[in-house]
Amino acid sequence: MKLGHVMANLLSLTQQLQQLYRKVFPIPCLLCGLVTEGQALCESCIAELPVIQQCCIHCAIPIEQGQICGQCLKKPPIQDSSLSLYRYEQAVPRMMSALKYHRQIQLADICAREFIAYHSLATPPDVLLPIPLHPSRLRQRGYNQSLLFTDTLAQLLKIPCRPELLKRVKKTATQTQLNAKQRHKNMRQAFKYDSSFVPEHVAIIDDVMTSGATTHEAARVLKRAGVETIEVWTIARAISHY
């Protein structure tokens, strides 16, 4: 038998084994519990997630009309533009918590695929920069959910992911209980740009944008390093403003 045939047989055997495995150990959808096609969410739950249809170009907050929200008209954020996939409501908070705290890392792939399906990028950034975790938090959690999301985006978009450029140098307090002002204070001096290579156009990537304090601080450090154009991409956008 020729090598090509052997490889083709092996491939089909692998596929059959995968199908068998999924039948014996089906993956239940994280949200509705029904058996999925081998991924963390079923297609109908994905289709029901609250996609942001229209949002402020600067801060990605959902708005009914126009391009810029009232807050950004008064004082625009440091980043030039922002994109987010879902409103942080309905099943999204549960999903984000599963991704962040319960090792449901496959959700990062689904979100990256959906993000690209909903956003066409006129001018793609030169590099993608995930918001880093402090090394001690990374050790504790074992993975950075924003890096997982960024890695899949990078593969699908064929844009380099460069997590080493931005470092987390301050161990910040958990932001959940803090108001917007306290969050900004908490994040001050949290990041350091750590390279002599400065790309022109960067997308900073995080899981959830709430007050915008984290991405604001990262954007401030990048502008100071000389980055010209900064976008902020997130999976979900909380409706409370910064």
- Give residues in contact with Zn ion (CB under 5 A): 29, 31-32, 42, 45, 56, 58-59, 69, 72
Q: In this complex, which beta carbon is closest to Zn ion, that of residue 28 or of residue 135?
A: 28
Three-state DSSP state, 60: coil
Nearer to Zn ion, 94 or 170 (CB): 94
Compute the distance between CA of residue 7 and CA of residue 169 in angstroms, rounded to an integer: 49
Shorter beta-carbon distance to Zn ion: residue 20 or 32: 32
Q: CB of residue 81 vs Zn ion: minimum separation in angstroms?
A: 10
Which run of H or E residues covers position 86?
strand 81-87
Is the CB of 45 or the CB of 108 nearer to Zn ion?
A: 45
Q: Cα–Cα distance between 165 and 130 in angstroms, integer?
A: 10
Provide the minimum distance between the beta carbon of 115 and Zn ion in the complex, in angstroms, as a whole number.
Answer: 19
Min separation Cβ 107 and Zn ion, Å: 12
CB 80, min distance to Zn ion, A: 12
Torsion from C-alpha of 74, 77, 79, 85, nearest 10 degrees: -90
Q: Which is nearer to Zn ion, 59 or 147 (CB)?
A: 59
Closest separation between CB of residue 241 and Zn ion, Å?
8
CA distance 30 to 81: 32
What element of type H or E holds 228? none
Nearer Cβ to Zn ion (9/44): 44
Across-strand partners of 161?
A: 128
- For the chain, helix (H) and strand (E) counts, in that order, are 9, 6
User: What phi, psi does 59 have (nearest 5°)?
Assistant: -125, 0
Q: Which is nearer to Zn ion, 40 or 205 (CB)?
A: 40
Q: Closest separation between CB of residue 25 and Zn ion, Å?
A: 17
Rounded-to-10 torsion of CA 193, 196, 201, 202? -30
Whether the CB-CB separation of 242 and 216 falls below 8 Å is answered with: yes
Least separation in angstroms between residue 4's CB and Zn ion is: 40
81, two tokens: 């533009």
